[in-house]
Amino acid sequence: MSHLVHLTVLLLVGLLCLGATSAKPHEEINRDHAAELANECKAETGATDEDVEQLMSHDLPERHEAKCLRACVMKKLQIMDESGKLNKEHAIELVKAMTKHDAEKEDAPAEVVAKCEAIETPEDHCDAAFAYEECIYEQMKEHGLELEEH
């Protein structure tokens, strides 16, 4: 599995974990919940069943609508705000959820988000979501943060 595909998987798991803790604290995170969110976003983004399938099988987005599907999930879970920018607090929590705890690197998640928050992103929120995803992965790697296996 490529690193970017792996990140996409972890990003979705992290988003779902954050969503469950902020929106529905007693709901267990599972594939059905992920599919429910993706299907909610499908109607909003013009994505197809194939795009949802691609998301659920953790494949990289091939179509613009598939990127929009990811952006929609990020917005619903407040990782990305309505202006297409990262929500610093929630993004830091996401990075923490995606990485193994390392007391020596306690400040690293905030540093990762600070770098990614500052990148130039396309005006298109769908492309921006994908740019943030790539940045977060690269910055985690630069900071020596190891991905948590979920």
28-50 mean pLDDT: 80
Name the helix (H) or strand (E) containing 77. none
- Residues 111 and 83 sit within 8 Å (Cβ to Cβ): no
Residue at 150 is within a domain = no
Residue 54's Cβ-side half-sphere holds a number of Cα atoms within 13 Å equal to 19
pLDDT at 114 (0 to 100): 97
| Average pLDDT of the residues in 40-60 | 87
By C-alpha distance, which of 138, 18, 38 is closest to 78? Answer: 18
Residue range(s) defining the domain that contains residue 54: 30-143
Residue with tokens 């607090």: 89
Domain count, the chain: 1
Residue 116 pLDDT class (50, 70, 90 cuts): very high
Question: Per-residue pLDDT tens for 59-75?
Answer: 778 899 999 998 998 88
* Higher pLDDT, residue 25 or 149: 149
Residue 148 placed within a domain: no
Let me know if residue 20 belongs to a domain.
no
Asked if residue 8 belongs to a domain, the reply is no
